[in-house]
Amino acid sequence: MTSSKKLLVILIFLFLCSGDVYAYVDPGFAGSLYQLFYVLIFGVIVVWVLKPFRFIKGLFKKDKTKEKRKNHTKNNSHKTV
């Protein structure tokens, strides 16, 4: 048996042999879950909105390295050795 099959058999065995569980979920737990989902959704929205915005902004931004290279070649072409 491979390790993944062994793990699956163990998980099924544990699931079938479980007993009753008595637990209390307080309101603070629900609030923390709400905050978790709120932050995840907000983070996804921010990434989806800002990433295309940066791409579009980059299209209209001057590339300073190209201008420096162009100026450097102009200045060097007039010099005599």
pTM: 0.38
Is it the case that residue 32 has pLDDT exceeding 60? yes
Flag the least confident range among 6-10, 30-34, 53-57: 53-57
Tokens of 43: 């983070």
pLDDT tens string 51-79? 887 788 888 877 766 666 666 666 665 55
The secondary structure of residue 78, as a DSSP letter, is S
What span, in angstroms and rounded, lies between the C-alpha atoms of 24 and 20?
13
Q: In the 8-state DSSP scheme, what is residue 43? A: H
Q: How far apart are CA 80 and CA 37, in angstroms?
A: 67
**3-class DSSP state of 46:** helix
